[in-house]
Amino acid sequence: MGTFNRARVQAALAATAVLTLALTACGGNTGGNTATSGATETSGGNGAADNTELQEITVGVMPLVDVAPLYLGIEQGIFEDHGLTVNLETAQGGAAIIPAVTSGQFDFGFSNPTSVLVAASRGLDVMVIAPGGSSTGDEDTDYGATMVLPDADISSAADLEGRTVAVNTLNNISDSTVKEAVRQDGGDPSKVEFVEMPFPNMVAAVEQGTVDAAFLVEPFLSSGLDESMRPVFWNWMEVSPDLMASTYFSTGALAEEDPDLVAAFQDAMAESATYAESNPDETRAILETYTSIPPEVTQVLRLPRWIDAVNVDSLERLIEISTEDGLLEGDLSVDDVVLADAG
């Protein structure tokens, strides 16, 4: 892997630190402010014929690596081919996107699955309809790990007992995957202290001893590796080797009111995911159009795996660990949160 200057990377990302709090599927929790939108972008490309009326949709997104297929699909005209014009509204995280979708402000939204599961357990009308990014299942290529200094006396997940771990949001997919790793290694996750901080601050926090470890995702994972930090475990893989770490969702009401619209979005996302998976160079290039990741970093960072259908087994695992961690209210099953034909 090529190297790059960490200071330059963090400086380039600092201006958008708020937007990257939920980087790579780790969107904010379901509380907080309701909507923060950015510039609207519309689909282009060589899609549907001029005499075909396109249906306009609004999708709430974050400027994350995981959403690259959506931007590629717009650029390649895939959404127009499926009869859709896409308006993208940039938000700070799940705290903004989930209520915007449930209120009808957005038709579709992007989030990490745990946020959607928590929202559903609290009675909100949210349904998983398409996958975002998934684990590669390979330590050499996966894009999320809990990292420590090279000489740290932490060699396994259980060693995190009594230590501090930086995560971007508390009570979400970040700390729940750390807890599951500790649990599987025979440790007590209740003895791990989690510290909430923005991703851009984590590498420096570990180096300065502010925290003992940090859960890093791209592009900050590559920054940590470049600083010789050492992965203790790979979070997504500890839960499932093919964990679906991010997802697109809508409401059951929209699916009932306009099933053709939801199906068109699902089909366009499936085709876009396949295109992104098959064209990594174009995927890396598209990152430079909607993120603040420097070009030299987009060329070396680890990409998620993109699949064309919801990974139901992955969601079941997240329900299991979220239930064990007390994140969900009441009983929740996959059938409650996945559109019938989404998997």
100 shares its domain with 39: yes
47 shares its domain with 86: yes
**Does residue 1 lie in a domain region?**
no
Domain count, the chain: 2
Torsion, Cα 233 173 245 334, to 10 degrees, reads 120
231 shares its domain with 247: no
Q: Among 217, 239, 261, which residue terminates a domain?
A: 239
Continuous segment of H or E residues that includes residue 7: helix 6-14
Check which CATH number belongs to the domain holding 192 and give it.
3.40.190.10
* pLDDT value at residue 211: 98
122 shares its domain with 202: no
Distance CA 115, CA 282 (A): 30
**Does residue 343 lie in a domain region?**
no
16 shares its domain with 106: yes
* pLDDT value at residue 342: 67
78 shares its domain with 160: no
**Does residue 38 lie in a domain region?**
yes
**Does residue 228 lie in a domain region?**
yes
219 shares its domain with 314: no
178 shares its domain with 65: no
Q: Among 205, 239, 273, which residue terminates a domain?
A: 239
Q: Which residues contact 150 (CB under 8 A, 6 or more apart)?
A: 228, 229, 230
Each of the 343 residues of the chain gets a pLDDT tens digit; together they read 444 444 444 444 443 333 333 333 444 433 333 333 333 444 444 444 455 789 999 999 998 899 999 999 999 999 999 999 999 999 867 778 999 999 999 999 999 999 999 999 999 999 999 999 999 999 999 999 999 999 999 999 999 999 999 998 888 899 999 999 999 999 999 999 999 998 899 999 999 999 999 999 999 999 999 999 999 999 999 999 999 999 999 999 999 999 999 999 999 999 999 999 999 999 999 999 999 899 999 999 999 999 999 999 999 999 999 999 999 998 999 999 998 776 6
**Does residue 342 lie in a domain region?**
no
Which range of residues forms the domain containing residue 12?
6-136+243-337
**Does residue 310 lie in a domain region?**
yes
Which among 86, 87, 88, 74 is positioned nearest to 46, based on CA atoms? Answer: 74
Q: Which residues contact 39 (CB under 8 A, 6 or more apart)?
A: 90
230 shares its domain with 299: no
Q: Among 213, 239, 265, which residue terminates a domain?
A: 239
Which among 217, 148, 159, 228 is positioned nearest to 188, based on CA atoms? Answer: 159
108 shares its domain with 223: no
Distance CA 248, CA 111 (A): 6
46 shares its domain with 130: yes
Distance CA 268, CA 266 (A): 5
* pLDDT value at residue 160: 98
How many other CB atoms are there within 10 angstroms of residue 320's CB atom?
12
126 shares its domain with 29: yes
